[in-house]
Structure formats: C-alpha cells, structure tokens
Amino acid sequence: MNERTNICVVIPAYNEAKHIRSVVCSALKFVQTVVVVDDGSCDSTSEEAKSAGAIVIRHERNKGKGVALATGLKYAMDNGFDAVITMDADGQHLPDEIPAFLEAYRCTGAHVIIGNRMNNPSSMPIVRRLTNRFMSWLLSRMMGQNVPDTQCGFRLFVRETIPVVLQVEAPRFSAESEVLLRLAYNGFCFASVPISVIYGDERSKIRPFADTIRFFKMLLRMRRQRQECLKLAKEKKNI
C-alpha cells in the first residue's frame, strides 16, 4: 500500500454534547479533518462539535448509527480522502490511539484496520464480553477471516472499501457487522490493532432485545444474498 496521509475522522453522534468537544479536540491532534454526523440530537451536540473545530453534518431526525456512518463515509469519499477512521462520540475510543491505526495503515496491506479490545477485556462488562466473543467467533467463521473484536466501531477504512460499505442495509448497530461481512465477501482483508477498554458514565444506546433480533435478521439476509451470488457465479461459469 502506498503511503497516503489524506485521512479524516468520522464520528457519528447522538445526544453527545457532554463528550463530543473533547473527542474532536483530541482527534484533531492527529488528523486535519474531523467530521461529526449529528444524528438528530436534541441537545447541543452540533454546536459543541463545530466550536471544537469539526465539520458537522446534521440529520434532522434520528436515523440510526448505520445511516450516520454512511453519511460521514460518503462525505469523505466525495471530498477525496484516502482513508477514514471511524470513532464513537461517547469517549469509549481514545483519540490518542489514532496513531496505531495510522501506523498499521502505512505498514500493512489491509483494507480495514479494526480496534481490538479483547486482549485485555477485564474492565468490559461480563455480558458484553461474552456477547462480543460469541459474535466475533460467529462473524469470523462467516467471513473466513479472524477478527477478534467485530463489534468495535474504532476502525480505519481505505477509500476503495467505501462504495461497498455504502451498500449496507441495516440502519442501526447491526450495520457494523454487516459492513464486515460485505467487505469480506468482496475480497477485502482485515487487520487489527490493540486498543484500550474504556467504560465511564456513558449510557449505552443499544437496545439488547431489539438489536439482537436485528442482528440475526441481518445474518440471515446476508447468508441468503451470499448463496444467491455464489449460485449465479456457478451458473455463469457453466454457460
């Protein structure tokens, strides 16, 4: 991979006025451009992000994390960035760890760099830890690549992956899993970098029952689509 340094950070945010300023200011130490997608917040998220130096794109109503990520990634693609780092707005991802992603970007041939919290997950709530290990095992099997922390939203995407990411149909938290499946099925490769596990006073926006149902519906849909694509490819080969 050629060394390219035109990189921006994209941060989807929903009612994160308390944390967004510090996240943006810290990220701007390592990249020149931070894009905050305010996903219909009812608080001063947009104002705090703008005053911290971010470019803000606002959804007038809440559309879900998947849609917010797509909005930010499309902005990055349309404005010629070579790669995009995605982060959460609630302080769970340390901007000071951005250099680890930049180093992996410059030194590996991976198309996607994914943060890995599972090397030292002792401070992660036990339910999340078990759920994360199960989902990561399941998705790794489906992708044919080992990704130890598929649920981590701290990621770097090279520009070439973005058109595939924009095909994602899941609007909310299962979108991050669908992203990986689509990229794997299109031949992109992954690498991981260790990151810190941070849980403070932030309140999770995950709805355990509803989001679990959406996750498994997404898996079934992706499996059907994968089988259909393989069937079509086989039929074309036999013509």
Q: What is the pLDDT of residues 21-54, one digit of tens each?
A: 999 999 999 999 999 999 999 999 999 999 999 9
How far is the C-alpha of 167 from the C-alpha of 92, rounded, in Å? 27
**Domain presence at residue 1:** no
CA pair distance 114, 156, nearest whole angstrom:
7
Determine, yes or no, domain membership for 2.
no
| Total domains, the chain | 1
Task: State residue 211's pLDDT score.
Answer: 65
Quick: pLDDT tens for 193-224: 999 988 655 555 555 566 677 777 777 887 77
Token pair 């926006």 in the structure block, residue:
205
Structure tokens at 1: 């991979």
Q: Which residues contact 45 (CB under 8 A, 6 or more apart)?
A: 13, 14, 15, 16, 17, 20, 36, 38, 89
Kindly state the DSSP code that residue 78 receives in the 8-state scheme: H
Distance CA 18, CA 79 (A): 29
- The backbone region for 53, taken as left when phi is positive above 0, alpha when psi lies in -120 to 50, beta otherwise, is left
Q: What is the CATH number of the domain that holds 39?
A: 3.90.550.10
- Locus of tokens 């849980």: 199
Tokens 């994160």 label which residue? 16
Give pTM, 2 decimals.
0.84
Tokens of 40: 């219909």
| Residue 145 belongs to some domain of the structure | yes
Choose the weakest-confidence range: 28-42, 167-181, 183-197. 167-181
Q: Give pLDDT tens digits for 155-165.
A: 999 999 999 99
Alpha carbon distance 22, 70 (integer Å): 23
Instruction: Name the amino acid, one letter, at 124.
Output: M
Task: Identify each DSSP E strand in the chain by its residue range.
Answer: 7-13, 33-39, 55-59, 83-86, 112-116, 155-158, 190-194
The whole-angstrom distance between residue 187's C-alpha and the CA centroid of its chain comes to: 18
For residue 97, what are the domain limits? Answer: 7-238
